[in-house]
Amino acid sequence: MSVRFTTREIGSLGKPSWRVKAFAGRPIEEEDVREAERWGKRLEVDGHEELVEGLRAASSNTLLLGNGGLALAAIDDWASRYAIRLLEQAGLDVVYDGEQKRTEMYDHVAAFAHGFEARGTVRSFDNKYYAKAAVVEPPSADGPQDVEELRFVAANTQRRVKVPLTGAYTMEDWSYDEHYAREGALGGSAERRFEARRQFVEDVAERVIRPNVVGLVEAGADWIQIDEPAAATKPDEVPLVVHGFNTALRDVGAAKRSMHICFSDYRALWPSVLELDDCLELQLEFANRDSRELGTRAEDRPGYADTLRLFAEHGYPGVGLGVLDIHSDFVEPAELVRDRILFAVDALGGPERIQVNPDCGLRTRSWDVVYEKLSNMVAGARLAEDVVNAA
């Protein structure tokens, strides 16, 4: 049987300027309207003329925005449709909506769940920032969070859908703790700190994420991706990452479940990740740390060799191979994508455990760059298949 590598995105895309400005209450300008028109045509978005017309009217009369004219909810829907079409047109096999209806992966959950309070803005890197909240009581949720989002995506694509959800450990690790570790933190024991974090993770997984997963699966989701970018940052706590994953997905019938991790020292993941229940794969960032030169030898692929050795050594789970650097406008040629995949095939002794994706969400790149990168990723996957199938 011939090999075919499944191609997918990881999560977030940048939001169109017209979506950003509409929600920020800033004026829609002619340039925004032209962008909506350009991408609507380029992506062949059904009915995009309606959006363009509404934006154009709003650009000349701001009262028409969300006020009997183009409602914010409708703009959200349009942003979703555009993102889905971008991923489809780039050729991906599995899509979502670039998280167009979410603020940001952490805030999306913290703002929805009970038990979190916003604390302000902190820096992520350079001039990039994010909002951070504190847990002030055991988190909980009134019900599933993302079912309507899934239904909208499923109704607007024929492709397979993968739902990205922020993981319990990352929610814990990125939050301030004003509840679980409130007492006895100064000069306290490592055991006490660990127990506080374990309880926090368990509560988020059981009381916030699991209800969402149950609702999503009931609504038809068959692939849940748990995003744990913080997973490998504290080697001693990788068991907590696993505990959060298994708790959130316990007795849930999703056909596929996977985990995304990025920008970390992956050596910390094993052997704990062997305990992940039915995890199809770890989707990891590799390209960020790789050379941009072509080649399939270990010395050509410094970003891949060490981590793939871990996959090969332990045999579980599969690998979602990050082949696009999401922090650079450099558009990886298809041949470079091909070589990264072929190196992985060689490192793992075959193609069976490999699927293909960007390193992470592409939200910091322009749609022009994203489209070129993803198109080349798909083309590179096809080139790699040609080589593998000819062997």
* Span 251-270, contacts to another protein by CB under 8 A: 263-264
Pick the binder of another protein from 1, 68, 124, 142 (CB under 8 A).
124
Q: Is the dihedral of CA 170, 96, 361, 73 positive or negative?
A: negative
Pick the binder of another protein from 63, 73, 122, 294 (CB under 8 A).
122
* Span 188-217, contacts to another protein by CB under 8 A: 188-190, 193
Confirm or reject binding of residue 119 to another protein (CB under 8 A): yes
Helices (H), 205-324: 210-218, 238-248, 305-314
Strand-pairing partners, residue 157, are: none
Residue 166 backbone dihedrals phi, psi, to 5 degrees: -70, 135
Q: Which long-range contacts (CB under 8 A, 24 or more apart) does 144-147 make?
A: 144/211, 144/212, 144/213, 144/214, 144/215, 144/216, 144/219, 145/108, 145/109, 145/112, 145/212, 145/215, 146/212, 146/215, 146/216, 147/212, 147/215, 147/216, 147/218, 147/219
| 185 or 294: CB nearest another protein | 185
Q: How far apart are CA 175 and CA 190, in angstroms?
A: 19
Confirm or reject binding of residue 106 to another protein (CB under 8 A): yes
Task: Give the DSSP H or E segment for 368.
Answer: helix 367-390
Q: Measure the CA angle with vertex 336, ends 15 and 281; round to 5°.
A: 65
Confirm or reject binding of residue 115 to another protein (CB under 8 A): no
* Span 153-182, contacts to another protein by CB under 8 A: 173-174, 176-178, 181-182
CB of 265 to another protein, least distance (A): 8
Confirm or reject binding of residue 94 to another protein (CB under 8 A): no
Size of the site for another protein (CB under 8 A): 38
CB of 176 to another protein, least distance (A): 4
| 247 or 264: CB nearest another protein | 264
Of the candidates 239, 220, 46, the one whose C-alpha atom is nearest the C-alpha of residue 150 is: 220
| 223 or 304: CB nearest another protein | 304
Task: Give the DSSP H or E segment for 152.
Answer: helix 147-155
Confirm or reject binding of residue 327 to another protein (CB under 8 A): yes
CB of 388 to another protein, least distance (A): 29
Stretch that binds another protein, among 233-241, 342-350, 373-381, 382-390 (CB under 8 A): 233-241
Confirm or reject binding of residue 352 to another protein (CB under 8 A): no
Strand-pairing partners, residue 166, are: 227
272-292: string of b/e by CB count within 10 Å (b at 16+)? bbeebeebbbbbbbbbbebbe
Confirm or reject binding of residue 384 to another protein (CB under 8 A): no
| 5 or 266: CB nearest another protein | 266
Pick the binder of another protein from 4, 42, 132, 382 (CB under 8 A).
132
Tokens of 305: 């060799």
| 160 or 363: CB nearest another protein | 363
Which residues of this protein are in contact with another protein, per CB under 8 A? 106, 119-127, 129-130, 132, 134, 173-174, 176-178, 181-182, 185-190, 193, 229-230, 233-234, 237, 263-264, 288-289, 327
